[in-house]
Amino acid sequence: MRFVYLFSMFNFLRKKRIESTIFQKREFVVLDTELTGLNKKEDHIVSIGAILMKERRISLGDIFYRVLNPQCKLKRESVLIHELTSSELEKCPKIKPILMEFLNFIKDRPVVGHFIEIDLKFLRREMKNNLKIKFEPVAIDTYIVFNWLIERGLISNKFRGATSLTQIAEAFDIRVENLHDALYDAFITAQIFQREIALIQSVQLSWFDFMKKIGRPNISGYMFGQYEKNYQF
């Protein structure tokens, strides 16, 4: 019996050590895109911002930010939101070389975002049209994880129904100043993800695969309907 106990304890400690090592190597790319609108047929990407995360550490030295020429007529609402005019964007590069740089930046890392399926929807289209490739990274949606945490009582129920990046940041006491800049929005999202990982770790040691499971945007039920009226591009 003593041998069985010691063997079980050895395996337990070994598992903890392995999981700790795996955790130290976990990397994510937190991303955000700014768009001319939400119509997949008519609208286009204006900018892409992304930040590397290693474990829960935001790597401010590893960032990706590009403003590009969407090659379409800008809507008045888009100009007001992003404060970028057609004449300014016409001087920016076209999307194809930007996409190649972006792929080189993210490599095979999971991507994280707020309502990330919107970003992926446009990125998939542009990858297909410009590079003739499929873009299907592992994706985690901070909005879905946020709601999972509320359901389990790990975040106050008073934040139930929060949808915007500002509202969710408030739940974690994260200061928000100027949204609708792709890199800044990615930075706010990365801080939210930091807090979410910490809460998940408090109840689930093997957090990485668990986070991928609960944060998948394609099973969320939120897509392209009721929530889009609350989403600003």
Q: Report residue 194 as tokens.
A: 């930091």
Q: Position 10: which residue type?
A: F
Spatial separation of the C-alpha atoms in residues 135 and 120, rounded to whole Å: 8
Q: Is the pLDDT at 64 greater than 90, yes or no?
A: yes
Spatial separation of the C-alpha atoms in residues 32 and 124, rounded to whole Å: 14
Residue-level length of the chain: 233
Backbone angles phi, psi at 13, to 5 degrees: -65, -35
In the chain, domain spans: 24-230
Q: Domain spanning 24-230: which CATH class is it, in words?
A: alpha beta
Q: What is the pLDDT of residues 149-192, one digit of tens each?
A: 998 899 999 999 999 999 999 999 999 987 778 999 999 999 99
**Whole-prediction pTM:** 0.78
Q: What is the pLDDT of residues 107-137, one digit of tens each?
A: 999 999 999 999 999 999 999 999 999 999 9
Query: Do 47 and 34 form a contact (C-beta atoms < 8 A)?
Result: yes
Q: Report residue 122 as tokens.
A: 């446009």
**DSSP letter (8 states) at residue 75:** P
**Helical ranges in the chain per DSSP H:** 2-25, 76-82, 86-89, 95-106, 116-126, 142-151, 165-171, 182-201, 207-214
Euclidean distance between the first and the last CA atom of the chain, given in angstroms as a whole number:
62
Q: What's the whole-number mean pLDDT along residues 199-204?
A: 80
Q: What is the pLDDT of residues 91-112, one digit of tens each?
A: 778 889 999 999 999 999 999 9
